């Protein structure tokens, strides 16, 4: 199939240059979008690298909220939230299976339970037809910062000083001074004490979301779970026992299931949905949407929560994420942490070597 009219092959350099340019421009655009040309840009990898710098690399463990325990139960809806959200989890009388996880913030899976006054509670609701609702809540009323960049700056400012092993008070002080939005959190944390139990805490979603009702109308909401158990007496922290929370949970569950109410607060016009450092006024209408019942617990290294990424942007139809900038950053960073720890479990080439927790002190 030769074409007699064809021009002889040209070796004009500009033709080669044009081809090279096209390839280089496309490859360059790809590298730019991937973030390879701009290492100073805040990326999900950089956030998790910085978390690791603070908490150390503990193969197989989450890069934050590394110490925790798996729990299993269900959510029983009373139908109160059904007029605000079409999510099947809120239909009256529906019962949705839940796999949850209690944890401590921080990257050290062996941190003593008394080392931080914050506990966290993550839940994965398994709805019919493959839908899921995942949420990660903390036992504090506000988040220290409002944006991913400020969160990153806070991480860097509070990294342990190699000389002392503790954050440099000057750097940390300078960060908080230049970030007045941290004021509400700092005021709270000053009086907060490490609780003796996971089960007596209220856990707040902190980020705002939308409930979407049957007419398609969106309602800005924040949710939290409030405990039925309020006796902090329980077993009480044993002196010198760094793992009293898991034992307390085990003992309480041996006596029967544990319950929380899922409370959903509805925003009024003007309440911020994009700022987790600000509480909404206390008089906002709050619905009790139903009861979360926890029936059993399992260690996290063998329990059903181990390989769950509690990405708070995974929501069912009837719930939508808000414009809170922390939400996409949490989603992106959790995915990086999830891939790193599952790669370590699977002994992928290049992954940090996983060891069993018992090999650590």
Taking the complex as a whole, how short is the minimal distance between the CB of residue 251 and another protein, in angstroms? Answer: 29
Catalytic option among 65, 129, 179, 360: 65
For the bound state, the minimum distance from the C-beta of residue 272 to another protein, rounded and expressed in Å, comes to 16
Per CB under 8 A, 1 contacts another protein: yes
Asked if 236 contacts 200 with a C-beta cutoff of 8 angstroms, the reply is no
Supply the minimum distance, in Å, between the C-beta of residue 35 and another protein: 4
In this chain, which stretch among 100-108, 193-201, 227-235, 316-324 interacts with another protein, using CB under 8 A?
Answer: 316-324
Instruction: Single out the segment in contact with another protein by CB under 8 A; choices: 32-40, 137-145, 182-190, 249-257.
Output: 32-40
What DSSP string describes 105-172?
Answer: SSS-TT--GGG-S--EEEEEEE-GGG-EEEEEEESSSS-S-SSHHHHHHHHHHTSBPTTTSSB-HHHH
User: Site size for another protein, by CB under 8 A?
Assistant: 60
Sign of CA dihedral 159, 162, 165, 168: negative
By CB under 8 A, tell whether 352 contacts another protein: no
Of the candidates 202, 235, 250, 313, which one interacts with another protein according to CB under 8 A?
Answer: 313
User: Please, which residues bridge with residue 106 across strands?
Assistant: none
Is the Cβ–Cβ distance between 72 and 298 less than 8 Å? yes
307 touches another protein by CB under 8 A: yes
Is residue 317 within 8 A of residue 87, CB to CB? The reply is: yes
- Six-digit token string for 85: 């959200």
- Beta bridge partners, 4, equal none
Half-sphere exposure of 283 (CA within 13 A, CB side): 0
CA 148 to chain centre: 13
33 interacts with another protein by CB under 8 A: yes
334 is in an annotated binding site: yes
One of 105, 109, 148, 312 touching another protein (CB under 8 A): 148
Q: Which is nearer to another protein, 249 or 314 (CB)?
A: 314
Phi then psi for residue 145, to 5 deg, are -130, 165
| Residue 72 in contact with another protein, rule: CB under 8 A | no
If one asks whether residue 35 binds another protein (CB under 8 A), the answer comes out as yes
The verdict on 231 binding another protein (CB under 8 A) reads no
Q: Is 129 in the site for another protein (CB under 8 A)?
A: yes
Contact between 16 and another protein per CB under 8 A: yes
Rounded distance between C-alpha atoms, residue 355 and residue 337, angstroms? 17
Among 81, 123, 308, 319, binds another protein (CB under 8 A): 308
Residue 275 contacts another protein per CB under 8 A = no
Residue 32 structure tokens: 């730019």
**Structure tokens that stand for 279 in this block:** 């509480």
CA distances from 177 to 169, 173, 188, 234, 278 (A): 12, 6, 16, 39, 17
d(CA 211, CA 219): 5
- Say if residue 153 is exposed, middle or buried (CB neighbours under 10 Å; 0-12, 13-18, 19+): middle
CB 255 within 8 A of CB 44: no
Query: Is the Cβ–Cβ distance between 251 and 237 less than 8 Å?
Result: no
Task: Tell me which stretch binds another protein (CB under 8 A): 39-47, 71-79, 166-174, 232-240.
Answer: 39-47
Please confirm, yes or no, whether 65 is among the known catalytic residues: yes
Binding of another protein at residue 298 (CB under 8 A)? no
**Which C-beta is closer to another protein: that of 99 or that of 199?**
99
Stretch that binds another protein, among 62-70, 190-198, 277-285, 326-334 (CB under 8 A): 326-334
Binding-site residues for heme, in ranges, read 334
> By the criterion CB under 8 A, which residues form the site for another protein?
1-3, 5-7, 9-11, 15-16, 18-19, 22-23, 26-27, 29-30, 33-35, 42-45, 47, 129-132, 148, 306-309, 313-314, 316-317, 321, 323, 325, 327-329, 331-333, 335-336, 338-339, 341-343, 345-346, 348, 351
Binding-site residues, in ranges, read 334
Positions marked catalytic: 65
């Amino acid at each position: 199939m030769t074409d007699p009219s064809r021009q002889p092959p040209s070796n004009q350099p500009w033709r080669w240059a044009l081809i090279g340019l096209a390839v280089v421009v496309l490859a360059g655009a790809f590298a730019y979008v991937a973030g390879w040309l701009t290492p100073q840009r805040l990326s999900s990898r950089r956030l998790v690298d910085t978390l690791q710098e603070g908490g150390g690399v503990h193969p197989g463990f989450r890069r934050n909220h590394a110490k925790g325990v798996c729990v299993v139960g269900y959510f029983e809806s009373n139908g109160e939230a059904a007029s605000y959200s079409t999510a099947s989890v809120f239909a009256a009388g529906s019962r949705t299976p839940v796999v949850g996880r209690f944890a401590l913030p921080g990257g050290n899976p062996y941190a003593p339970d008394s080392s931080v006054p914050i506990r966290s509670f993550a839940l994965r609701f398994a709805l019919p037809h493959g839908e899921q609702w995942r949420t990660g809540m903390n036992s504090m009323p506000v988040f220290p910062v409002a944006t991913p960049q400020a969160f990153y700056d806070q991480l860097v400012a509070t990294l342990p000083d190699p000389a002392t092993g503790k954050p440099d008070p000057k750097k940390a002080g300078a960060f908080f001074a230049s970030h007045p939005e941290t004021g509400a959190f700092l005021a709270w944390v000053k009086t907060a004490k490490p609780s003796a139990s996971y089960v007596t805490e209220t856990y707040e979603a902190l980020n705002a979301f939308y409930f979407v009702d049957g007419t398609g109308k969106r309602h800005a909401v924040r949710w939290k779970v409030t405990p039925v158990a309020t006796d902090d007496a329980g077993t009480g922290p044993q002196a010198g026992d760094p793992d009293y929370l898991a034992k307390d949970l085990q003992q309480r569950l041996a006596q029967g299931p544990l319950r929380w109410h899922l409370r959903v607060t509805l925003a009024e016009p003007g309440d911020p949905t994009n700022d987790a450092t600000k509480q909404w006024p206390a008089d906002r209408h709050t619905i009790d949407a139903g009861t979360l019942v926890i029936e059993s617990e399992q260690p996290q290294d063998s329990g059903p929560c181990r390989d769950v990424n509690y990405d708070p942007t995974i929501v069912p139809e009837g719930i939508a994420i808000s414009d809170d900038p922390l939400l996409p950053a949490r989603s992106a960073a959790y995915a990086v942490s999830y891939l790193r720890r599952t790669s370590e479990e699977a002994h992928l080439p290049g992954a940090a070597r996983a060891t069993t927790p018992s090999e650590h002190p």
